[in-house]
Amino acid sequence: MVTLMLKLWGRVNSINVQKVLWVLDDLELDYERLDAGLQHGVNNTTDFLARNPNGRVPLLQDDTSFVWESHAICRYLCNRQQALQVDSKAGGDASSYHLAQSLYPADPLGRARVDQWMDWTLWGISAPMVIVFQQCVRTPEDKIDLQKLSTAKDQSNDYLRVLEDHLAASPYMASDHLTLADVALSPIVYRADSLGLEAAKNQNIQRWITQLRLTKGYQKWVDVPMT
């Protein structure tokens, strides 16, 4: 059996890195994590930029190949494990294969339902929540732009109400069990809840968060101090 080495560049306080770490652990994959981004630097070096021209984390290396963007990496890891099971000589593992299928279904409709919420996370709630987080956590109190923060909170609450309505009819984001859609969204909603956003306290969102708190991935990578 051949073991393919995985390397992940990224800092553990990045929500985009947290998603990938959760998936790596759930799939029981061996990997090496290297600090990169913000105070760690690295992501602005020539070597890093040659692998990811955006200069952002996370960045995944699989043997001699590189994948960037957190959602693309999460999908890749699930697809990788499903493909390896077909070729057992390449290191396929039955339990990892089935978990990969559970996180990212092979059937087109199941996969589309996961993808639509992963995409919604990126183009929707992420942008205003980045502003809320930056203003509340990483901006000195005397430099906070109160109007900018208020607008971002209102926009975030609008998206959270969409989420609340959706979760009224579904225990998880895209299925009756945990999928990549939940993994991708959970760090953002964790921040919204921790920072006191009104809509994050709604009943269905809180029930969903309670379920996520039972998972090892959420406990280890998401439910941590914000820095």
Q: What is the pLDDT of residues 27-71, one digit of tens each?
A: 999 999 999 999 999 999 999 999 999 999 999 999 999 999 999
Average pLDDT of span 132-147: 98
Residue with tokens 């006191």: 196
Strand partners, 67: 60
Residue 168: inside a domain:
yes
Please give the structure tokens belonging to residue 195.
């920072």
CATH classification of the domain holding 114:
1.20.1050.10
Q: Which two tokens stand for residue 51?
A: 């692998």
pLDDT tier for residue 1 given thresholds of 50, 70 and 90: very low
Looking at the fold, whether 98 and 57 belong to one and the same domain comes out as yes
Please confirm whether the linkage preceding 225 is cis (ω < 30° from 0): no
118 and 217 share one domain:
yes
> Is pLDDT at 12 greater than 80 in this prediction?
yes
Residues 147, 217 share a domain: yes
Distances (CA, A) of 97 to 2, 54, 75, 83, 84: 16, 31, 13, 8, 8
Number of domains in the chain: 2
Report pLDDT for 94. Answer: 81
Query: Do 117 and 214 sit in the same domain of this protein?
Result: yes
Whether residue 174 lies inside any domain: the answer is: yes
d(CA 103, CA 121): 16
Instruction: Please answer whether residues 2 and 90 qualify as being in contact, where contact means their C-beta atoms are separated by less than 8 angstroms.
Output: yes
Average pLDDT for 167-189: 98
Residues 76 and 152 both lie in one domain: no
What is the distance between the alpha carbons of residues 165 and 180, in angstroms, rounded to a whole number? 20
How far apart CA 188 and CA 198 sit, in angstroms, is 14
The pLDDT value recorded for residue 214 is 98
In the predicted model, what is the mean pLDDT of residues 172-189? Answer: 98
Average pLDDT over residues 69-94: 82
Q: Do 152 and 112 have their domain in common? A: yes
Residue 78's identity, in one-letter code, is C
Hunting for tokens 């009819």 — which residue is that? 169
Residues 181 and 85 in one domain: no
- Buried-exposed string 120-131: b where 16+ CB fall within 10 A, e elsewhere: bbbebbbebbeb
The answer on pLDDT for 93 being more than 70 is no
**117 and 213 in a common domain:** yes
User: Domain holding 27: CATH number?
Assistant: 3.40.30.10
For 139, the domain range is 108-221
Amino acid identity of residue 82, one-letter, is: Q
DSSP 8-class letter at 207 = H
Question: What is the model's pLDDT at position 87?
Answer: 60
Pairing of strands 31-34, 6-9: parallel
| Domain contains 172 | yes
Of 15, 209, 12, nearest to 122 (Cα)?
15
Does some domain include residue 202? yes
Last residue of a domain, one of 38, 70, 103: 103
Which pLDDT belongs to residue 14? 97
**167 belongs to a structural domain:** yes
- Cite the beta strand spans of the chain per DSSP E: 6-9, 31-34, 59-62, 65-68
Mean pLDDT of 150-159: 98
Q: Read off the pLDDT of each residue in 72-101 and give the average, rounded to a whole number.
A: 83
pLDDT of res. 40: 95
Dist CA 219 CA 193 (whole Å): 15
Residue 44: inside a domain, yes or no? yes
- Is 205 within the bounds of a domain? yes
CA dist., res. 13 & res. 19, Å (int): 11
Please check whether residues 98 and 174 belong to one and the same domain: no
Q: Could you report the per-residue pLDDT of 110-127, keeping only the tens digit for each?
A: 999 999 999 999 999 999
Same domain, 97 and 142: no
Question: Given 103, 123, 140, which residue is the final one in a domain?
Answer: 103
**Residues 208 and 113 placed together within one structural domain of the fold:** yes
Does 94 share its domain with 113? no
Residue 165 lies in a domain: yes
From 53, 86, 103, give the residue that closes a domain.
103
